[in-house]
Amino acid sequence: MTGARRGNGSRPARRGQSTTTVGDERSALRVLVMVGGPGAGKGTQARYLSAALGLPHVASGDLFRDAMAEGTPTGLEAKAYYDRGALVPDELTVRMIAERLDQPDAASGAILDGFPRTVPQARALDGFLLRRGTRLEGALYIDVSEDELVRRLSGRWICSGPAQHVYHVVNHPPERPGICDFDGTELSQRADDAADTIVARLEKQLPPMYEVVDYYAERGLLLPVAGETRASEVTDALLRAIEHAVAEPVT
Ligand code: AP5
């Protein structure tokens, strides 16, 4: 497998002065999106950013997994796509995210992890934010090669506790094999991290993701960071990118 195409790393084109800083309570509605291939580290980083910025972490994949576990109509419809590593149709996905963003805890904004995954989803998000009198703060793009994506997905183990702590057999192993360091629950692999589903996810999901990367680059909103360094270094790079975007917003 070849390395992933590098994202368009061009700096945002039109940025000016801002009255806000990272974590500034004066910001009315702050929405950031996390873009990256399956296994790029979006979830790992979104948890840190959520704590650092005081914004809820809204992960489309988690919402689908919850809906499937509960057997809701959304879950039943999504399952056929999810199980074969395909994207769930835009209309269903956009509706689910819009309902989630209308929840009280997202009144001040959110970190969206895994949404948008297609240009129609990105356009729908723009429309949603416009109706609320705001726009996207930035699109954080974690750039990771395809070979590394495969290594990360195939070595990922997740705890069965409510916090769903994430491990990796090589990069981030638990102290006791198969047991979560935090809540002592058993670790398991996600069904869609099976080898053949990983291949399907990359084949089906990377092309539309690159279109989303281009969409945000063209609008001066792309905040690319190198994703193949230690997780803490990726977090620092993301926070610096957000700080820069807040200091010089697109006008
Ligand atoms: P989703 O759950 O969003 O899966 P994904 O995008 O494939 O992303 P992952 O959760 O697999 O990976 P991640 O980037 O969060 O990486 P992680 O932090 O875990 O979506 C699942 C499915 O739902 C999709 O296939 C689709 O069917 C559907 N879906 C979801 N959103 C949709 C949408 N918008 N539209 C349509 N359908 C949608 O890290 C991975 C591993 O790497 C871990 O083991 C971690 O420990 C390790 N790691 C992380 N960072 C580092 C680092 N810096 N160095 C070394 N190891 C690291």
Choosing from 42, 65, 100, 152, which is the catalytic residue? 42
Confidence of residue 250 (pLDDT cuts 50, 70, 90): confident
Residue 60 CB–ligand 1 contact under 6 Å: yes
Q: Which domain holds residue 97?
A: 27-145+206-247
The two structure tokens encoding residue 58: 């809204």
Instruction: Using alpha carbons, select from 80, 91, 1, 96 the residue that is nearest to residue 39.
Output: 1
Does residue 77 sit within a domain? Answer: yes
pTM given for the model: 0.90
What is the rounded CA–CA span in Å between residue 35 and residue 45? 11
Distance 104 CA to ligand 1 centre (A): 26
What pLDDT, on a 0 to 100 scale, did the predictor assign at position 60?
98
Residue 151 CB–ligand 1 contact under 6 Å: no
Does residue 161 sit within a domain? Answer: no
What is the rounded CA–CA span in Å between residue 18 and residue 51? 23
Report the CATH number at residue 105. Answer: 3.40.50.300
Does residue 241 sit within a domain? Answer: yes
Residue 57 CB–ligand 1 contact under 6 Å: no
Residue 43 CB–ligand 1 contact under 6 Å: yes
Tell me the pLDDT tens digit for each residue of 147-201.
Answer: 999 999 999 999 999 889 999 999 999 999 999 999 999 999 999 999 999 999 9
Active site residue 190: yes
Q: Number of H helices and number of E strands within the chain?
A: 8, 8
Q: How many domains does the chain have?
A: 1
The two structure tokens encoding residue 5: 């195409």
Does residue 121 sit within a domain? Answer: yes
Active site residue 100: no
The amino acid occupying position 92 is L
Tell me the pLDDT tens digit for each residue of 77-136.
Answer: 999 999 999 999 999 999 999 999 999 999 999 999 999 999 999 999 999 999 999 999
Does residue 178 sit within a domain? Answer: no
